[in-house]
Chains A and B, each alone.
Chain A
Amino acid sequence: MAVHDTESGGNGFEPKILVFACNWCSYAGADLAGVSRLQMPANCRVIRVMCSARVRPEFVITALSKGLDGVLVLGCHPGDCHYSEGNYFTRRRGLLLQKLLQYVGIEPERFQVRWISASEGAKFAETIGQVTDQIKALGPNRSQNGMQPAEPGDS
């Protein structure tokens, strides 16, 4: 079942997008997309966390400062967090972080927070397709020149 055209090649820019997916909902939704063979662009790389609230702003900033083109944080729908409140923290952090990133000149599409439940395989595929398209249209992330990234082990 093709959801998104995935041909690469040519001189088209292919963004590299980091995705944080929570174990209970969004990672399971991603698995379901896989089981359902929903096709999507191959630009995203998933890091599994137990809860989206694990994602600290420094991860997002590090990723962007190292040249990754976008960061997507996925969690359970508000109200459905496996740990009751985690995704509320994610939501609040996300809003603040958005403002900060825009302030330093990073386009808002490069950092997004979305909610995907374990049964929303199609929504996962759609989200990946949409976000990839958005970031592709922005072009490569050139912000690393102005940012000081944290080295692993610094914090």
Chain B
Amino acid sequence: MPKTRVGVFICHCGNNIGGVVRVPDVVEYARTLPNVVHAEDNLYTCSEEGLSSIKDKVEQQGLNRVVVASCTPRTHEPLFRGACEEAGLNRYLFEFVNIREHCSWVHMHDPVMATEKAKELVRMGVAKACHLEPQEDFESDVFPAALVIGGGVAGMTAALCLANQGIQVYLVEREQELGGLIRGVQTLFPTEQNTEELLHPLIEQVKNHPQITVYAGTVVEKTSGFIGDFDVAVRANGEASNLKVGTIIVATGAEELKPGGLYRYSELPNVVTQLEFEERFKAGADLPRSVAIINCVGARIPQRTYCGRFCCTTAIKNAIWLKEQDPETSVYVLHRDVMAYGVAIEEFYRRAMELGVRFVRYDVESPPQILGDARAEAIKVQHQLMGKEVVLPADLVVLTTPLVARDDNEELSRMLKVPLGSEGFFLEAHLKLRPIEFSTDGVYVCGAARYPCNIPESVSQAYAAAAKASIPIREGMVRVEAITAVCDERRCSACGNCVEVCPFGAVELQEGRFGKAAHVNPAQCKGCGCCVASCPSGAMQQRGFNDRQLLSMIGALAEETTSGGA
């Protein structure tokens, strides 16, 4: 084995480090450390000069480990790793020591202690560097096809976007027809066009696209694998097929809540949901003289706390439609807040009021009551803003209910190893910054499967999911930084702690050369080290942060205790 030859580069960072830490002393000290064959100081190690010096010394002095003591690895590690690589040294044989943010800048009034600390930090860094091993990033192939589960507006949009980029797409839809939830809707907000006008061309494009294979009347039965290499078993009419894909998009949508025992829905023939209203009345039935629309039915209540997001929009849309059919129709919208957010919906709300739609605010504690025997005839409600009970005529009562998660979400979530949130919708990796991704790489979600949303939002999410799903396919491979966990099968007792503990499902027990042992899939491993710390035998280690390396730092620190200061 070649002797370890460590080069140490201590940065002044102008005066930032040099003004507090006695850099020349640290350099001199570094020279005394085991395996250090070269030590120097630089004014700015990150400058062109500094980087060149590192490269030169690696070549000239045959350095096989480089330690830089300067600022923070969080910004500069890639830079120095790159310099090492350019000089022909494996980029993972580099160690960073922070003597600025963690030393000179925070001990400005104590240069003596700061210098001692810098020396110790360098000693620790050198100790770790001696135990570093060359590593290669893991690369795994990505199969150039994508699966879209769900053929509604979201699913179709995602499929077309991917296909238009030349990517092979399998679109699996449970029903015989494409179109999803909005097939039940007659006219759309804000364009007020017929749904058919929007859906029909979209469906035709999808069916005719050479890069899209539609599996209608088909369900997903089983999935296995990981990003780049998913195996998906689907079944249609008893016939099974297997699909291999690189990425998967979940676009399975949601369902309108049927409000069961609320507002005498199941009891009276003229109490309907919004979708039922669309189906019965907008398709040409006789229109009632008076309509009462009740919002927040089965939403924003203790049993179901969330807001359906676009149901106020739907209520306003249909209220306007009714007035446009006949301005004499009395239309009341009973609400608990009007969620007309943004530009267009707020404008729509104003228009509804101008057309004579009356908005009545009610309190969740005093919900409206349906009056009538065999049919609904009127609504009695505590009008919050008038402070009294009013009775409103209602030949028809329309209940605005939220979308709820599909029953089959649970099964799909188990198959794909992705989580559901408390409401039953799919739970994304991060609510703010990763709204359509999962913690599981290679699987994405869009549309109402994630949370109720209107068409523009659903379509935006579908495009976003297509963007994400296309990237690994374009690159052709997935590259993972070499800080993943690795199991030494000889030492593994297959206790399974690591399998349990891994937040990403990256570890499995497999039959190996030495019997059953844990195996880490580097394509899924994020390099957290949870499994390593839970391994009782030390079989599981993390590259770049293994036990030997970290213990050597502890040992180096404990070597010369400088009690009492200077």
Give the B-binding residues of A (Cβ under 8 A): 2, 6-14, 16, 18, 23, 27-28, 30-31, 33-35, 37-40, 42, 45-51, 53-56, 58-59, 62-63, 66-68, 82-86, 89, 93, 125, 140, 150-153, 155
Contacts and interface: CB of A to CB of B under 8 A. Distances in A.
Contact of A54 (B102, B109, B529): B529
A83 B484 CA distance: 13
Contact of B529 (A6, A51, A67): A51
B533 A8 contact: no
Nearest to B558: A66
A82 B483 CA distance: 15
A86 B503 contact: yes
**Max chain B CB contacts within 10 Å: which of A6, A27, A42, A63?**
A42
A56 B564 contact: no
B369 interface: no
B561 A56 contact: no
Interface residues of B, number: 55
A153 B530 CA distance: 20
B274 to A, nearest CB: 36
Given A56-B532, A93-B533, A140 B106 contact: no
Contacts of A6: 107, 109-110, 113
Nearest to A19: B102
Contacts of A58: 547, 551
User: 3 closest A-B pairs (Cβ-Cβ)?
Assistant: A34-B101, A54-B529, A8-B565
B225 to A, nearest CB: 21
A34 B554 contact: no
A46 B553 CA distance: 10
B548 A86 contact: no
Interface string B502-531: 011000000000000000000000111110
B534 A54 contact: no
Interface in B97-138: 98, 100-103, 105-110, 112-114, 116-117, 120-121, 124, 131
Contact of B551 (A12, A85, A152): A152
Given A34-B106, A89-B533, A155-B551, A50 B483 contact: yes
B195 to A, nearest CB: 40
B213 interface: no
Q: Which secondary structure dominates where chain A touches chain B?
A: loop
A43 B366 CA distance: 63
Contacts of B558: 16, 63, 66-68
Contact of B530 (A12, A54, A68): A54
Contacts of A38: 106
B120 A45 contact: yes
**Max chain A CB contacts within 10 Å: which of B74, B533, B538, B554?**
B554
Contact of B108 (A39, A53, A62): A39
Contact of A59 (B98, B121, B534, B550): B550
Nearest to B549: A152
Contacts of B548: 152-153, 155
Contacts of A10: 565
B555 interface: yes
Interface string B18-34: 00000000000000000
B566 A66 contact: no
A67 B562 CA distance: 11
Contacts of B496: none
B562 A14 contact: yes
A133 to B, nearest CB: 15
Contacts of B538: 155
A51 B527 CA distance: 8
A16 B545 CA distance: 22
B563 interface: yes
A46 to B, nearest CB: 6
